[in-house]
Amino acid sequence: MPKDEDKSWLYNLEPIIERWPTVSRPEGHVHFRTKMLWTTGVILTYFILSNVIIWGLAPDTVDIFAQFRAVLAGASGSIIHLGIGPIVTGGIILQLFQGANIFDLDLQDPEDKAIYQGTQKLLVFASIWITGIPQVFGFLTPSDALIGWTGTGWARTIIALQIGLGGYFIFLMDEIISKWGVGSGVSLFIVAGVAQGLFTGMFSWLPSQAGAALDPIQNPPGGLIPKIFYVTTELPLQQFVSGGGFEQIAFVGTNSLVSFIATFVIFIGVVFAESTRVELPLSHARVRGARGRYPIRLMYTNVLPLIFVQALLANVNLIGILLWSGPLSNLPLVGNAEWVGSYPFLASGSAAGGSATQAMSGIAYYVSPIQGLSSWFTPLFAPELAQTVTNVAAYRTSWQIAAHVIVYTIAVIVGCIIFAIFWAETASMGPSDVAGKIRNSGMQLPGFRRDERILERVLERYIPSVIIISGFLLGVLAAFAALFGTIGAAQGTGLLLAIGILSRTYEEIAKEQMMEMHPMMRSLFGQG
Average pLDDT value for residue range 220-225: 88
| Pairwise CA distance, residues 60 & 273, whole Å | 43
Q: Is residue 476 part of a domain?
A: yes
Q: Is residue 267 part of a domain?
A: no
- 76 burial class (0-12, 13-18, 19+ CB within 10 angstroms)? middle
Q: Is residue 213 part of a domain?
A: no
Sheet of 291-297, strands arranged across: 291-297, 277-284, 443-444
Per the model's pLDDT, the better-predicted residue between 12 and 504 turns out to be 12
Q: Name the 3-class secondary structure at 380.
A: helix
* pLDDT 10s digits, 327-383: 678 888 888 888 888 887 765 544 433 457 778 888 999 998 887 777 787 777 766
Q: Name the 3-class secondary structure at 452.
A: helix
Whether residue 165 is predicted with pLDDT greater than 90 in this model: the reply is yes
CATH number at residue 304: 1.10.3370.10
Amino acid 185 reads: G
pLDDT at site 4: 54
Question: For residue 292, what are the domain limits?
Answer: 23-208+279-523
Look at residues 354, 356, 398 and name the one whose alpha carbon lies nearest to residue 376. 398
pLDDT at site 521: 52
Q: Is residue 528 part of a domain?
A: no
279 Cβ contact partners less than 8 Å away, ≥ 6 residues apart: 293, 294, 295, 296
pLDDT at site 293: 78
* pLDDT 10s digits, 488-516: 756 666 777 788 788 778 877 877 776 66
Look at residues 415, 408, 412, 307 and name the one whose alpha carbon lies nearest to residue 358. 408
- Which pLDDT band, with edges at 50, 70 and 90, does 256 fall under? confident
Tell me the whole-structure pTM to 2 decimals: 0.71
pLDDT at site 484: 81
Give, to the nearest 10 degrees, the angle between helix 398-426 and helix 85-99.
70
Whether residue 287 is predicted with pLDDT greater than 70 in this model: the reply is no
| CA angle, residues 231, 232, 233, in degrees to nearest 5 | 95
pLDDT at site 2: 43
Q: Name the 3-class secondary structure at 17.
A: helix
As a whole-number percent, the residues of the chain with pLDDT over 90 amount to 15
If one counts every other C-beta atom within 10 angstroms of the C-beta of residue 151, the result is: 12
| Domain count across the chain | 1
Torsion, CA 329, CA 331, CA 336, CA 341, rounded to 10: -100
Q: Is residue 14 part of a domain?
A: no
Q: Is residue 259 part of a domain?
A: no
